[in-house]
């Protein structure tokens, strides 16, 4: 860790972190030196970006190729009415700059693909998956497993959400996303929120849990959701944790992996290994 000192303004801003034994000045320095790539600046990405920036994570990358629509504003809270029509990455970056000048932001107004994932995600400490499609989820999982990058996964549907953490650290034997969900559903079989709707406050809860996991990863404190899938039901106001097992036959993290590169997979179809 470099000799990064907290100035008087930072000691004031992060005072509630600094007085905690589990964080302290050294932990806050670790956060300020940390870097997180948030893939998706929508429902899940919005609260995650807010709280990671507020916590003082020093460098945030934001990937999204979409523009703000008025129907987004019910849940995507880094954007406002004046941002309708703007690229989401620009609106999100402006929010971060207003919230915390300590945080630098790099924006990528593009869709994540096998061709650009290393260029975009390479060098970040943690990737936070706030995407809304299976192709991106499997691509991020495979890339992070292969590159040894920590990954936070979150997903929502109507009133329900799920979170798991895949640290991909040396010696870890926890399951990856493919261990849990070996193949993506056939296209069109799982409706999106534009079709079924989504409770506006739901992604706030799930995105905040993801941000919490990422902060713990950067601090190297606490137990993350490795080998566990946290299920949240907003209608019942219930949480359930499902224990997960590593799949020795997993094509990306198993004993004899078949995926050596993200180029081996047809992500736009069923996220399975390319027959070629």
- Domains of the chain: which residue ranges? 14-273
Q: What is d(CA 125, CA 59) in angstroms, rounded to the nearest whole number?
A: 10
pTM of the model: 0.94
Q: Quote the percentage of the chain above a pLDDT of 70.
A: 94
DSSP string for 72-138: GGGT-TT--GGGTTSBHHHHHHHHHHHH-TT-EEEEE-S---TTTHHHHHTT-SEEEE--SSHHHHH
* Confidence (pLDDT) at 62: 98
Spatial contact of 88 and 64, defined as CB atoms under 8 Å apart? yes
Residues in contact with 162: Cβ distance below 8 Å, sequence separation at least 6, in sequence order = 153, 154, 155, 156, 206, 229, 230, 231, 232
C-alpha triplet 111, 37, 197: angle, nearest 5°: 60
pLDDT of residue 4: 62
Q: Which two tokens stand for residue 178?
A: 């493919």
> Residue 85: left (phi > 0), alpha (psi -120 to 50), or beta?
left
What was the pLDDT predicted at 276? 39
Extract the tokens encoding 165. Answer: 């953490």
Q: What does the pLDDT look like over 136-172, one tens digit per residue?
A: 999 999 999 999 999 999 999 999 999 999 999 876 7
User: φ and ψ at 143, to 5 degrees?
Assistant: -65, -45
pLDDT, residue 275, reads 40
Q: How far apart are CA 67 and CA 89, in angstroms?
A: 8
Pick out the chain residues at pLDDT < 50: 1-2, 274-276
Position 1 scores a pLDDT of 45
Query: What was the pLDDT predicted at 192?
Result: 73
Taking residue 237's Cβ as centre, other Cβ atoms within 10 Å add up to: 7
Domain 14-273 homologous superfamily, CATH: NAD(P)-binding Rossmann-like Domain (3.40.50.720)
Other CB atoms within 10 Å distance of the CB of residue 105: 20
Active site residues: 193
- Give the model's pLDDT for residue 272: 57
């Amino acid at each position: 860790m470099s000799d990064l000192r907290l100035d008087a303004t930072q000691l004031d801003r992060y005072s509630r972190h600094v007085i905690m034994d589990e964080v302290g000045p050294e932990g806050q320095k670790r956060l300020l030196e940390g870097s997180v790539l948030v893939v998706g600046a929508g429902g899940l990405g919005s609260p995650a970006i807010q709280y990671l920036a507020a916590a003082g994570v020093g460098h945030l990358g934001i990937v999204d190729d979409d523009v703000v629509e008025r129907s987004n504003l019910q849940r995507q809270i880094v954007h406002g009415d004046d941002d309708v029509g703007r690229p989401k990455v620009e609106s999100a970056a402006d929010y971060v700059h207003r919230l915390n000048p300590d945080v630098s932001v790099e924006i990528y107004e593009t869709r994540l693909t096998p061709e650009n994932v290393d260029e975009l995600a390479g060098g970040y400490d943690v990737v936070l998956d706030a995407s809304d499609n299976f192709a991106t989820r499997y691509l991020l999982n495979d890339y992070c497993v292969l590159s040894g990058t920590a990954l936070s996964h979150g997903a929502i549907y109507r009133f329900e959400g799920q979170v798991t953490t895949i640290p991909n650290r040396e010696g870890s034997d926890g399951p990856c996303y493919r261990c849990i969900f070996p193949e993506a559903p056939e296209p069109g079989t799982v409706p999106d929120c534009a079709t079924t709707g989504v409770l506006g406050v739901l992604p706030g809860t799930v995105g905040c849990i993801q941000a919490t996991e990422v902060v713990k990863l950067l601090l190297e404190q606490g137990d993350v959701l490795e080998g566990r899938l946290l299920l949240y039901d907003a209608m019942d106001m219930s949480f359930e944790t499902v224990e997960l097992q590593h799949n020795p036959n997993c094509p990306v993290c198993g004993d004899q992996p078949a995926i050596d590169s993200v180029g081996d997979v047809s992500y736009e179809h069923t996220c399975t290994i390319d027959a070629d």
